[in-house]
A = this chain, B = another copy of it.
């Protein structure tokens, strides 16, 4: 009765955990929730009132698939600040950045095409692409992101490569950032091998340490980078407003599939986001959000240093929302998760982020959604569990 693709699609454990964290008072490092304290609730009341007073009917009627013109103009400016020269016809408003991934699959993927991606990569990108039956070839990464030499190796040994999918800034799940040098080098490799780059960049504004780096698309001279982003991490995720930016030729294809997918994105919400950017100081807003996130990152790193066993490795992200933990290979984070949940702490097992499986000794921690106190408490519980598990494994000869 069901399509074949239903067989390999499993429930997102992050989502299932989110449901769990709705009903229990669990400390969840599992989701990817922005800090609630960062939402401009009061400002939105004013904006809603204004929209309904000035453009009530328009905000409730059907609209064009491409998206609200005023919002696209705002995005053109955001892009220009990052060194990306676009006009409004190069922008499509999407229902969250997640829809950018669904449309990417529809526009580019034939069955059996190869997707190159970081190892590990964003779980929900895997879930967006998989229904279209691609193959995934994982490319090695280190602290500076995707490794160009390994990318070339994989390109030489793969057939039907359609695109490279990359999250260069504070990657979900590792929190790593791709270096400037590698950004240039990877665009150059894409030119040489004639492949598309899907640059998924939701976290670039959440930069705690050092300076922001220009996106890969800013080095794109051949129109082969599609840049996806979202207002979920700068305003709020509940409105599901993201965008795709690419050459008009490519964006036109995205628009075509957008029509069959959901006709257009909620128009009232597009006006809400546009209204926020027009009336308020977004840079100041992001600065104050970054303070919250930085403090939470610091709290998590400090708690890990204090309570995790020495054998455990972890990233120290300079931005974003996630931190990546690698345990000794004898530990299995699927089993660990069950034990951890019993003690009231959730995380996501790392294997979910590897499209071809494996890496059962890794896990992802989110630090943006909980306050410092809960972070310290939860990491301490997790640290104690890890010590016990390692001790038991050592007795067993690990």
> 1/0 per position for A166-190, CB-CB distance to B under 8 A?
0000000000000000000000000
Whether B45 contacts A57 by the Cβ 8 Å rule is no
Given contacts A60-B238, A268-B269, is CB(A99)–CB(B261) below 8 Å? Answer: yes
Query: From A18, which residue of chain B is reached at the shortest CB distance?
Result: B64
> 1/0 per position for A260-276, CB-CB distance to B under 8 A?
11111111110010000
Query: From A6, which residue of chain B is reached at the shortest CB distance?
Result: B253
Given contacts A45-B49, A52-B41, is CB(A9)–CB(B257) below 8 Å? Answer: yes
Between A and B, 24 residue pairs with Cβ closer than 8 Å are A1-B108, A1-B162, A3-B107, A6-B253, A6-B256, A9-B256, A9-B257, A10-B256, A12-B259, A22-B64, A34-B62, A36-B61, A39-B61, A41-B52, A44-B56, A62-B238, A95-B265, A102-B261, A128-B260, A128-B261, A238-B267, A240-B265, A266-B266, A266-B269
Whether B253 contacts A266 by the Cβ 8 Å rule is no
Q: How far is the CB of A131 from chain B (nearest CB, A)?
A: 6
Q: Does A342 lie at the interface of the complex (its beta carbon under 8 Å from any beta carbon of B)?
A: no
Whether A262 contacts B96 by the Cβ 8 Å rule is yes
Given contacts A3-B109, A60-B44, A268-B239, is CB(A260)–CB(B39) below 8 Å? Answer: no
Whether A124 contacts B260 by the Cβ 8 Å rule is yes
Query: From A252, which residue of chain B is reached at the shortest CB distance?
Result: B11
Q: Does A192 lie at the interface of the complex (its beta carbon under 8 Å from any beta carbon of B)?
A: no
Whether A61 contacts B49 by the Cβ 8 Å rule is no
Taken together, the copies of this chain in the complex come to: 2
Q: Does A380 lie at the interface of the complex (its beta carbon under 8 Å from any beta carbon of B)?
A: no
Given contacts A15-B65, A39-B57, A48-B45, is CB(A106)–CB(B260) below 8 Å? Answer: no
Whether A61 contacts B34 by the Cβ 8 Å rule is yes
- Of the residues B12, B106, B162, B262, contact of A131 by C-beta under 8 Å: B106
CA distance A266 to B267 in the complex (A): 11
Whether A260 contacts B130 by the Cβ 8 Å rule is yes
- Of the residues B56, B162, B196, B263, contact of A96 by C-beta under 8 Å: B263
- Of the residues B42, B44, B59, contact of A238 by C-beta under 8 Å: B59
Q: Which 4 pairs from chain A and chain B are nearest by CB?
A: A41-B56, A60-B236, A127-B260, A48-B48
CA distance A250 to B63 in the complex (A): 31
User: For A236, what are the chain B residues with a Cβ–Cβ distance below 8 Å?
Assistant: 60-61
User: For A132, what are the chain B residues with a Cβ–Cβ distance below 8 Å?
Assistant: 3
Classify chain A's interface size: 35 or more
Whether B18 contacts A39 by the Cβ 8 Å rule is no
- Of the residues B6, B49, B110, B269, contact of A49 by C-beta under 8 Å: B49
User: For A41, what are the chain B residues with a Cβ–Cβ distance below 8 Å?
Assistant: 52, 56-57, 60
Q: Does A145 lie at the interface of the complex (its beta carbon under 8 Å from any beta carbon of B)?
A: no
Q: Does A31 lie at the interface of the complex (its beta carbon under 8 Å from any beta carbon of B)?
A: yes
Query: From A61, which residue of chain B is reached at the shortest CB distance?
Result: B238
- Of the residues B65, B255, B260, B269, contact of A269 by C-beta under 8 Å: B269
Whether A106 contacts B52 by the Cβ 8 Å rule is no
Given contacts A56-B44, A95-B95, is CB(A262)–CB(B240) below 8 Å? Answer: yes
CA distance A240 to B6 in the complex (A): 26
Given contacts A96-B262, A239-B266, A259-B12, is CB(A44)–CB(B39) below 8 Å? Answer: no
Given contacts A6-B107, A196-B1, is CB(A57)–CB(B33) below 8 Å? Answer: no
